[in-house]
Structure 1
């Protein structure tokens, strides 16, 4: 059918008023059309609000200020009642529909009280947006001027190919699109998906009802390594193709599903604990979730910086450059910047995870790393408390100014504090001055809270924990290496490794090295050695297709494809890998191997080069890694795997302890 003959989608005005282009709306998200194309209705009288299109209600906000409708052709239309009215907790609105209802165009779906909205200082403009406009439409035209409720306010021209592609009944999909369609169908359909995010190897779904998901069927899909349920998430382990599959999933679910850690359907509530033990588990799960969400985006940067540091050490060791040259300073800045300004980066990611303004918290991170603040932390005070020198004062009040450059935990606490005071500030500060006074008050209050009180306490505690771990290692590096090497990857299964990784990162940032990280590296090599043995021994093409890339990934520092694709699935393989990790860890401790970078496994060889000159840590790393690899490989080849295991391969038990498992360490 020619474009001119295509049936256009008529969008009815949800209320009487004046139709205006979205660019005139006093909200940056709608005005920039990031949410999609559509129109707004101003001068609204209040009263009944009608559906702009016919379809199924797919979203109803808990605060009653928004309703989402999907048409039969897959076009998704959002009706947003007022600007910033989410802060009114539903007071001005009465909804006449709920999720799953079928509505006709012009049917009443809500009632809006504009008097209440005006008294609260809010804007009663109603916004209608086609949220998947870029995919399903090729143009839109608006009615000029005043309309009545239920009259046509705009007409959108469908992009026929996009509409067909957006329908749930896809029949000719291939590659990642086909895999995404199968996953969506097997988790209970897109109506069962609240939101979706991903880490380095897995898709992390928030589902309305996890019981609708077919674990066995999803696990059998080509391209899926494993299925996990942890921390309120339904996790589908994909491996290196995770980003491509994520893009395909979002293309079919719609952009509204890309909700990160927040459910797309705000009306869905997590089950709350009812006992002290339940609250303890909930608190631990949330803590791990915050650490995970804060660290995931910077892990790659830390790894890259560690490799650059190692290369810089090689260049100076072999006298390619000198430590006082400008070339050295430039490369050193590349390797050190992410560590030096870590509070800024982690502040941004932690705020995004906790719901605070990321830019404001990043600025607070900038306060903590400001040059004069760092200079102040190097001073000595006349008095001390609990070993902390009172080296600064604020209006005559003495306090301990810690060094926050290279730190992690103080800024995470700052992000949490910001997430608590920011909503309150937005409620009490009028719209017209909010843009200035919210960041003003937030930066001042949170910065002072961290600098004067919370920061020194957190620094004292985190330093004590790190020193405690180091003391255990110093008591017997060999025994510590044996135990940690044998059991560390067990922590990864439950997500408990995220309690260790920030300590390792902070240890490297603060002291320049980490012996604990060296042991962890050996466990990664062992997982790779075990899955490599499976690759060599198996005659089954599918297992070779899984184990070969998984071995490469493990030697590059990502053990998840190996663990969930093969090793844990065929139980003895993981046991042999753990024995290899114990052997490698034992030698790492025996040789007192140290590590100056964050990147482990074989790809991280440069992390074991001492910046002051090549020493035995590098050779100890090679010996320990070779031992871990050989022991895991030989034991797996002889005792850990045979092709008949594939027929009786067991599923990995679904753990519920912990929260999220991004980069495997």
Structure 2
């Protein structure tokens, strides 16, 4: 249905206190993010009555209005035009609210700012890798055979897809280097160079480093001899922490040099000095330290889940959706990638995908209960969005509004998380965190993950319908009459 985005933007502009109350405004995939001068001027009730708006809240000094994928781009364009303000990035808007954030919120914001721009590349790589895993899975489609064995002609397709899938992971430090340098105020191209330096073909990858460190076949770890200092020739393919820390150091060096180097020779001096110093530190100090730190973090996480898997899964399944509300869920991208690099798979991301499905299922149940055409439309579209990994419309527009569906979603998520965790389900990569998630699961675990998916669908729907009938007043007379 065609929407009057101009009218919607005008209503929102009036409800947030007018153009003069806006410091900066940006948008992400589903939300308008606005840094306001005076939060007291906001008319929350008026905002919630605006068409397309599924909810609004303030978090870490930034006022956010949930609209939904696709529509948010058009509303933002109209809002910027009518307010007469310049477009801004999400990072810039978040920076406007930094003074209102605590240390943890600021740390989470860094992860969010760095990983959100490169998330499409990671998801595409995850889906392609999952597709390749299915092609190479023995017994998945043909008894005792893989599709490649049954149809040798697919070998070329498999090789091509495999190369496409691995590209984002092999050169992940370059992607993170670009995004992190942009976030920390450094040169983005130097961030890319630094990231590529850490995955240079002359450096050992993780597999060959493991063989060399163990002394297999008489191999040993090669090194650079720099004035008597031995620097191991080790790469950091797929690693997050080394390039994240190195990009911060690189940006500090570059920012320190800029006002101190004459303009006439800046182009010559700053890039060389920055890359030489940060590259040396990355290979000699930052890389080894953060590699061991990353291994320690993932080992500790695995240890906790192995010690009490049902409890860890229960807590994570129940708490992930509330973390999405605060924006703290972005930090799990780094955890997932670190687990994939060190353990060969992540048990976190499958639980995240099931949490999204559970919230979508609760919203779908509300679609059957609600009678207002506008509310039914919101419930159905937000449920579909959640089934494909975007849960904010479902949570803000439906589940939190009626409360009990949100709790039903948390319960379904927790139950499904316990089931797949006890079965040691792992994902080989990060994909679409919803119904298509099974593609990225290691093939051996796909049947159990699909069973977990059924739990994440059935439990929230059943609980929502039962609780709605028992507590019909939760959604007003409309639900009471329907129940």
- Distance (whole Å) between structure 2 residues aligned to residue 595 and residue 308 of structure 1: 13
**Residue number in structure 2 paired with 1:134:** none
1:234 counterpart = 2:54: no
**Residue number in structure 1 paired with 2:481:** none
**Structure 1 vs Structure 2 CA RMSD:** 2.8
1:374 counterpart = 2:207: no
**Residue number in structure 2 paired with 1:439:** 271
Q: Does the CA-based 8 Å contact 2:115-2:333 persist in structure 1?
A: no
1:204 counterpart = 2:24: no
Q: Does the CA-based 8 Å contact 1:515-1:593 persist in structure 2?
A: yes
Indicate the larger mover: 305-314 or 285-294.
305-314
Q: Offset of 1:634 from its aligned partner?
A: 0.4
Q: Does the CA-based 8 Å contact 1:491-1:497 persist in structure 2?
A: yes
**Residue number in structure 2 paired with 1:291:** 111
**Residue number in structure 2 paired with 1:565:** 397
Change (3 A) 1:626 1:327: same
**Residue number in structure 1 paired with 2:296:** 464
**Residue number in structure 1 paired with 2:451:** 623
- Distance (whole Å) between structure 1 residues aligned to residue 282 and residue 222 of structure 2: 16
- Distance (whole Å) between structure 1 residues aligned to residue 396 and residue 203 of structure 2: 46
Q: Offset of 1:643 from its aligned partner?
A: 6.9
Q: Offset of 1:506 from its aligned partner?
A: 2.6
**Residue number in structure 1 paired with 2:141:** none
Q: Offset of 1:533 from its aligned partner?
A: 0.5
**Residue number in structure 2 paired with 1:307:** 127
- Distance (whole Å) between structure 2 residues aligned to residue 359 and residue 472 of structure 1: 39
Q: Deviations over 1:590-626 (max 9, x none)?
A: 322222231232121211243xxxx2x1110111110
Change (3 A) 1:435 1:540: same
Matches within 5 A, 1:327-476: 327-374=157-204, 378=209, 380=212, 392-395=223-226, 396-400=228-232, 402-476=234-308
- Distance (whole Å) between structure 2 residues aligned to residue 593 and residue 647 of structure 1: 41
Q: Offset of 1:445 from its aligned partner?
A: 1.5
- Distance (whole Å) between structure 1 residues aligned to residue 117 and residue 152 of structure 2: 33
Aligned-partner SS, 2:293: helix
Q: Offset of 1:484 from its aligned partner?
A: 1.9
Q: Offset of 1:554 from its aligned partner?
A: 1.3
Matches within 5 A, 1:592-607: 592-599=424-431, 600-607=433-440
Q: Match for 1:575 among 404, 407, 423?
A: 407
Change (3 A) 1:510 1:298: farther
Change (3 A) 1:394 1:205: farther
- Distance (whole Å) between structure 1 residues aligned to residue 309 and residue 31 of structure 2: 34
Q: Offset of 1:301 from its aligned partner?
A: 2.0
Q: Offset of 1:544 from its aligned partner?
A: 0.7
Aligned-partner SS, 1:558: coil
Change (3 A) 1:451 1:227: same
Change (3 A) 1:488 1:322: farther
- Distance (whole Å) between structure 2 residues aligned to residue 521 and residue 247 of structure 1: 31
Indicate the larger mover: 251-260 or 625-634.
251-260
- Distance (whole Å) between structure 2 residues aligned to residue 246 and residue 426 of structure 1: 35
More strand by share: 1
Q: Does the CA-based 8 Å contact 1:196-1:203 persist in structure 2?
A: yes
- Distance (whole Å) between structure 2 residues aligned to residue 559 and residue 322 of structure 1: 41
1:645 counterpart = 2:478: no
Q: Does the CA-based 8 Å contact 1:382-1:391 persist in structure 2?
A: no
Indicate the larger mover: 512-521 or 617-626.
512-521
Gaps of 5+ in 1: 1-172, 274-280, 384-388, 650-665
**Residue number in structure 2 paired with 1:175:** 4
Q: Offset of 1:260 from its aligned partner?
A: 4.4
Matches within 5 A, 1:253-272: 253-254=83-84, 256-262=86-92, 272=99
Indicate the larger mover: 524-533 or 208-217.
208-217
Q: Does the CA-based 8 Å contact 2:468-2:474 persist in structure 1?
A: no
1:223 counterpart = 2:52: yes
- Distance (whole Å) between structure 1 residues aligned to residue 361 and residue 354 of structure 2: 10
Q: Match for 2:155 among 277, 301, 325?
A: 325
- Distance (whole Å) between structure 2 residues aligned to residue 595 and residue 382 of structure 1: 27
**Residue number in structure 2 paired with 1:186:** 15
Structure exhibiting the larger radius of gyration computed from Cα positions:
1
- Distance (whole Å) between structure 2 residues aligned to residue 296 and residue 189 of structure 1: 29
Q: Does the CA-based 8 Å contact 2:33-2:90 persist in structure 1?
A: no
Q: Offset of 1:566 from its aligned partner?
A: 0.9
- Distance (whole Å) between structure 1 residues aligned to residue 280 and residue 47 of structure 2: 50
Q: Offset of 1:254 from its aligned partner?
A: 4.2
**Residue number in structure 2 paired with 1:245:** 75
Q: Offset of 1:287 from its aligned partner?
A: 1.4
Q: Match for 2:388 among 532, 548, 556?
A: 556
Q: Deviations over 1:493-543 (max 9, x none)?
A: 222223322111232244432122222222122111111100112112121
**Residue number in structure 1 paired with 2:418:** 586
Q: Offset of 1:332 from its aligned partner?
A: 0.5
- Distance (whole Å) between structure 1 residues aligned to residue 13 and residue 247 of structure 2: 34
Q: Does the CA-based 8 Å contact 2:411-2:459 persist in structure 1?
A: yes
